[in-house]
């Protein structure tokens, strides 16, 4: 397997991004096609993402948080740090319609170290599906491509 290829930007992100999105999948792949599992949120986390006209909020949770001794926290490049199998933050965003990139600037977070950071994401919308892709690293520092696929819940 290889990381999901995302389509070219359509130039309609500003209007299409608005709404509430539920996480369907979150996958990490090396550039040579090896799948990696993020130990902070696990293989199949749950999540919710909401965009308003200028603000956004995101929450992610590892499905099984019963064994707190197994919880890992680390900061991959261009990414936030979860705590105890949970990640939550909010802030503002800016869209570059030509490139399809979105800049998220965090004004609040469950992890104080995330506050004030800006992260860049490739973002595409097709129908009721939102795909977010970013380059980051594993806990060992290995480069990966993370792809998050979301389903629209409401506008």
User: Which residue's structure tokens are 């792809």?
Assistant: 147
One CATH from 2.30.42.10, 3.40.50.1010, 2.40.128.280, 3.40.30.10 for 13-154? 2.40.128.280
> What pLDDT, on a 0 to 100 scale, did the predictor assign at position 75?
63
> What pLDDT, on a 0 to 100 scale, did the predictor assign at position 2?
55
CA diameter of the chain? 45
> What pLDDT, on a 0 to 100 scale, did the predictor assign at position 42?
87
> For residue 134, which of 80, 88, 83 has the smallest C-alpha distance?
80
Contact between 132 and 121 under an 8 Å Cβ cutoff? The reply is yes
Query: What one-character DSSP code corresponds to residue 14?
Result: H
For residue 6, what are its two tokens? 């995302």
* pLDDT string in tens for the chain (155-residue length): 556 688 888 889 999 999 999 999 999 999 888 999 888 888 899 999 999 999 999 999 999 888 765 555 556 666 777 888 899 999 999 999 999 999 999 999 999 989 999 999 999 998 899 999 999 988 888 999 999 999 999 87
> What pLDDT, on a 0 to 100 scale, did the predictor assign at position 131?
95
Task: Delimit the domains of the chain by residue range.
Answer: 13-154
């Amino acid at each position: 397997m290889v990381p999901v290829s995302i389509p070219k930007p359509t130039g309609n992100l500003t209007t299409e991004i608005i709404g509430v999105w539920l996480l369907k999948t979150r996958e990490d792949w090396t550039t040579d096609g090896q799948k990696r599992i993020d130990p902070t949120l696990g293989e199949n986390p749950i999540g919710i993402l909401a965009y308003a006209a200028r603000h956004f909020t995101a929450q992610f949770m590892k499905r099984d948080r019963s064994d707190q001794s197994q919880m890992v926290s680390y900061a991959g490049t261009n990414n936030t740090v979860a705590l105890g199998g949970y990640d939550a933050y909010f802030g503002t965003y800016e869209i570059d319609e030509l490139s399809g990139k979105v800049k998220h600037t965090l004004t609040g977070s469950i992890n104080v170290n995330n506050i004030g950071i800006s992260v860049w994401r490739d973002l595409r919308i097709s129908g009721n599906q939102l795909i977010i892709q970013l380059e980051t690293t594993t806990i060992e520092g290995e480069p990966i491509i993370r792809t998050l696929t979301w389903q629209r819940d409401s506008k």
